């Protein structure tokens, strides 16, 4: 398969200024999509933007991935963060990389899809590297809004919880991703309910267990904290940062 020929033949595709073996195209108003070949021309790094195209930032992302392409291609995890990225005026501190099994880029062309890695500017608090394929697909496809170059962080907040009084909770043993605001909301509702609990995993792959027994009891391995309502809110904001 001639990957370069396929990419250059896409409707409205044109060479990306300043980056060799790279193209950009706009399939619809507001959308600018970019793709760059790996140095051996066997793989593609694809970056999508929606209503937020920043040419210099996008070029920087693709160039950074090329510098780290051995890691980006070889690592088996569906979703990883390539640390060390920065760009003036932006708070991004990583470039995220998602493998073909966890995205739908070029899904209508299986041969091309299988050699395409999704990439995007991101934040270290968003990615643990331990995501399953389904979790990586959910994070990349729905939660990150990865095509928005102006987006705020979407911290990694994976929980399993049960609150007998409110009836809220996760089903079975499967944890789910929630927003930081919803985490704060559910923690507040634990107060006064001794049979309630919340388990939290963050991007550092720490597993925290929270329950209420007169104060909030927060533990992770051998570390145990006894916190007030104000302190548990501060703890929750910091532990996912």
Q: How far is the CA of 26 from the CAs of 52, 133, 134, in angstroms?
A: 13, 28, 28
Q: How far is the CA of 158 from the CAs of 54, 95, 144, 173, 227, in angstroms?
A: 31, 21, 14, 12, 21
Percent of the chain with pLDDT over 90: 95
Output the pTM of the full model. Answer: 0.94
pLDDT over threshold 90, residue 228: yes
Across 138-146, average pLDDT: 95
User: What pLDDT was estimated at residue 118?
Assistant: 99
At how many degrees (to 10) do helices 180-189 and 229-239 cross? 150
- Residues forming a β-bridge with 45: 36, 117
Percent of the chain with pLDDT over 70: 100
> Under a CB-based contact definition with an 8 Å cutoff, are residues 241 and 235 in contact?
no
Mean pLDDT of the chain: 96
pLDDT over threshold 90, residue 41: yes
What are the E-state strand segments in the chain?
14-15, 22-25, 31-37, 44-50, 79-83, 94-98, 116-122, 158-162, 176-177, 197-201, 207-212, 216-220, 223-227
- Parse the chain into domains and list their residue ranges: 3-143, 158-239
pLDDT over threshold 90, residue 1: no
At residue 174 the predicted structure's pLDDT band, cuts being 50, 70 and 90, is very high
Edge-first strand order for the sheet with 158-162 is: 176-177, 158-162, 197-201, 207-212, 216-220, 223-227
User: What pLDDT was estimated at residue 194?
Assistant: 86
> Under a CB-based contact definition with an 8 Å cutoff, are residues 205 and 128 in contact?
yes
User: What pLDDT was estimated at residue 146?
Assistant: 97
Which helix or strand (DSSP H or E) is residue 135 part of?
A: helix 133-138
User: What pLDDT was estimated at residue 81?
Assistant: 99
pLDDT in tens, 70-123: 999 999 999 999 999 999 999 999 999 999 999 999 988 899 999 999 999 999
3-state helix, strand, coil in the chain (%, to 5): 30, 25, 45
User: What pLDDT was estimated at residue 199?
Assistant: 98
Residue 83 corresponds to which tokens in the numbers above?
Answer: 């640390």
């Amino acid at each position: 398969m001639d990957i370069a020929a396929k990419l250059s033949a896409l409707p409205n595709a044109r060479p990306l200024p300043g980056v060799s073996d790279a193209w950009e195209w706009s399939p619809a108003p507001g959308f600018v999509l970019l793709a760059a070949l790996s140095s051996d021309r066997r793989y593609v790094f694809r970056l999508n933007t929606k209503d937020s195209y920043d040419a210099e930032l996008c070029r920087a992302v693709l160039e950074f991935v090329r510098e780290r392409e051995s890691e980006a291609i070889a690592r088996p995890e569906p979703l990883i963060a390539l640390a060390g990225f920065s760009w003036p005026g932006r708070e991004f501190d990583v470039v995220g990389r998602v493998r073909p099994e966890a995205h739908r880029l070029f899904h209508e062309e299986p041969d091309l899809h299988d050699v395409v890695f999704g990439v995007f500017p991101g934040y270290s608090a968003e990615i643990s590297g331990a995501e399953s394929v389904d979790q990586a697909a959910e994070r990349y496809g729905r939660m990150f809004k990865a095509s928005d170059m102006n987006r705020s962080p979407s911290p990694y907040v994976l929980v399993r919880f049960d609150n007998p009084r409110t009836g809220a909770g996760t089903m079975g043993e499967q944890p789910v991703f929630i927003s930081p605001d919803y985490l704060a909301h559910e923690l507040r509702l634990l107060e006064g309910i001794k049979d309630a609990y919340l388990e939290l995993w963050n991007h550092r792959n720490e597993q925290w267990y929270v329950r209420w027994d007169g104060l909030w009891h927060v533990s992770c391995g051998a570390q145990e904290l006894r916190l007030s309502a104000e302190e548990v809110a501060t703890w929750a904001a910091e532990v996912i940062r």
